[in-house]
Amino acid sequence: MRDERSNSARPARTHKHCPACGQSRSLCDFYTAVEGSPSGYCKDCQRALSRLTSRRRQAAMRLLIAAHPEEWAGLLGQPRRGGGWPGWLSGPLAGH
Ligand SMILES: [Zn+2]
C-alpha cells in the first residue's frame, strides 16, 4: 500500500503522458528543455519524430530541386538573405 497522505498536498510528478505513444512514462524518459520543463514527447518518440521530419524534409527538397532546377541553382549561387525561403519553396511544405 502506498502512503497517500504524505503526498496528497503536493504530489511528486514522476511520470508524464506522452501524446505520441499514448503511454505514461517516467520523467527520465523525457528530454528536459532549457527552462527545466520536460519536453512534450518522450525520448523515443522525439527521436522518431526528428528522424521522420528530417527524412521528409530531404525527400521534399529532392522533389523541389528536381522541379525547380534553375531557381535552385540560383539560390545556391547567392547567399541567403535573412534566412527566408522564396514562396515556391515554403508553399508546398506549409501544408504538412
Ligand atoms: Zn512517446
pTM comes to 0.47
Give residue 22's pLDDT. Answer: 95
Residue 90 lies in a domain: no
Give residue 16's pLDDT. Answer: 92
- Structural domain count, the chain: 1
CA of 53 to the centre of ligand 1 (A): 16
Residue 39 lies in a domain: yes
Give residue 81's pLDDT. Answer: 58
Query: What number of helices (H) and strands (E) belong to the chain?
Result: 4, 4
CA atoms within 13 Å, Cβ hemisphere of 72: 10
Residue 26 lies in a domain: yes
Question: What is d(CA 12, CA 3) in angstroms, rounded to the nearest whole number?
Answer: 12
Decide: 39 and 31 in contact? Cβ < 8 Å: yes
Question: What is d(CA 72, CA 64) in angstroms, rounded to the nearest whole number?
Answer: 8
Residue 83 lies in a domain: no
Residue 38 lies in a domain: yes
Give the domain range for residue 51. Answer: 13-70
CA of 14 to the centre of ligand 1 (A): 15
CA of 62 to the centre of ligand 1 (A): 30
Residue 28 lies in a domain: yes
Confidence of residue 90 (pLDDT cuts 50, 70, 90): low
Residue 44 lies in a domain: yes
Q: What are 19-77's pLDDT values in tens digits?
A: 999 999 999 999 988 788 888 899 999 999 888 888 888 999 899 889 988 888 887 77
Give residue 15's pLDDT. Answer: 92
Protein residues placing their CB within 5 Å of the ion ligand 1: 18, 20-21, 42, 45
Question: What is d(CA 57, CA 65) in angstroms, rounded to the nearest whole number?
Answer: 12
Domain containing 53 — which CATH number? 3.30.60
